[in-house]
Amino acid sequence: MPAEFGLIAMLAIFISVGNTLLDSGLASSLIRTQDLTQDDFSTVFFFNLAGSLLIYALMYMVAPLIAKLYHQALLSSVIRVYTLDFIINAFFSVQNARLIKDMNFKAQMLIQIPAVLLGGLVGIFLALNGYGVWSLVWLGLTQSFLSTVMHWIYSGWVPSLVFKKSCFKRHFSFGYKMTLTGLLDIIYRNIYVVIIGRLYSVTQLGFYSRADAFSQLPVTNISMVIHKVSYPMFAEIGDDDERLKRVYRRLMQQVIFWMAPILIVMVILAEPLFVFILTEKWLPAVPFFQILCLAGIMYPLNSYNLNILKVKGRSDLVLRLETIKKAICVVGIFCATYFGIYGLLYFQLFFSVVSYYINSRYSSTLINYPVKEQFLDLWLILAAALISGVVAYLFDDLVVKSLIVDNLGRIIATGLFFCATYLAAGLVLKLVPMADFKLLILKK
């Protein structure tokens, strides 16, 4: 039920903060550093493990206070079980960093697929047998445990009993700034959950959390895949600014070319999607979902601009940027609460655009790729997606609804029409990503 997803959503900020403190940005340092030894990896591994035990102990103690904050007594026991995830994750963070650094995506696929499938089956079995919110807790823990086991099998790396102060200082000098940056970002991303959880019902929070999770599916999956490729690739290019700009430009165009239309068609088909996948009880989440999908279009632009700063070793600039943005955000959210939950959602959309402008102002100076030039490279792609979306919406409203009652049929018909319209627009406008796709994939 929505209320049970709302309970888990209440923990999001605490789980995210714990995971960020656990890593302290050291995994990012391992990925960007070229001359690594076994001592580097082992030092980070044991630091993460010790940190996970400390953070779990802290969460165990404050669990009753968190439950009291939200007026949900059940949260105390949920937290004490769910946060075991910190300790489990500490056992594979370094192995995961090694796979990302080596760009070993086959191994990552072989790890994630069984972990997600088996964890999902555990969650479904428990949900069907009346375990409620605990089915979500054990789903997460099962996935983390299986992921840990698979990382140890596929990474081919085990730690040595070594902890070198010099190695720790080397990575912590870069990582602590990334940790502070991550904490600021987590507070921003979860502050909506905290406010909605405090000002509105747990059911409303459940609607918001599911809408946010669904809108993030294409954003996080596509962006995560590209991030795993781009960050180590950018780090390898290093100081060749001209090449870095060229690769970065093509990457941004490809990501927006695929992500923008996916999010826009999800806006158009939000209602039948929610009814088909989650049933009618989730329909109040549809308008939340549509606004969050539009905000998600800017996510990769923000993320990859920050990647430029990271590979240049400017974690100080990343921290400064996040401090500026979050200061603006706090003021904006305070004002938006006056307009209710929709005020918060529309501010989230507005702030995604503001964040892109601020991020790109800094990164553009490092690779000579100003904001105006970035916009000129992307505006045709965004225009093609928006125009195709308007045409598909009219087609769905005027034709499909009157001919097809079934939700799945409507999704398929309107989705295919949108795809055809968008690809036709790409050919007519001669979009660069379209040519790149034909060259790299179709070999034409």
Residue 414 tokens read as 């309107």
Among 377, 384, 378, smallest CA distance to 418 is for 384
Q: What is the pLDDT of residues 46-55, one digit of tens each?
A: 888 888 888 8
Residue 71 tokens read as 């007026």
Q: What is the pLDDT of residues 77-121, one digit of tens each?
A: 888 998 888 888 888 887 887 777 777 777 778 888 888 899 889
Average pLDDT, the chain: 80
pLDDT computed for residue 439 by the predictor: 63
Distance CA 135, CA 137 (A): 5
Position 444 confidence tier, pLDDT thresholds 50, 70, 90: very low
Position 267 confidence tier, pLDDT thresholds 50, 70, 90: very high
Q: What is the pLDDT of residues 288-312, one digit of tens each?
A: 899 988 888 887 777 777 766 666 6
Using alpha carbons, list the distances in angstroms from residue 320 to 18, 32, 306: 22, 20, 11
User: What's the whole-number mean pLDDT along residues 237-261?
Assistant: 78
Position 230 confidence tier, pLDDT thresholds 50, 70, 90: low
Between 333 and 142, where is the model more confident?
Answer: 142
Question: For residue 9, what are the contacts with CB-CB under 8 A and spacing of at least 6?
Answer: 193, 197, 205, 206, 208, 209
Among 358, 233, 348, smallest CA distance to 297 is for 348
Q: What is the pLDDT of residues 153-199, one digit of tens each?
A: 887 788 888 888 887 777 776 666 666 766 676 676 677 777 777 77
Please answer whether residues 195 and 333 qualify as being in contact, where contact means their C-beta atoms are separated by less than 8 angstroms: yes
Distance CA 194, CA 181 (A): 19
pLDDT computed for residue 188 by the predictor: 67
| Domains of the chain, residue spans | 1-199, 202-444
CB atoms within 10 A of CB 294: 19
Distance CA 365, CA 423 (A): 34
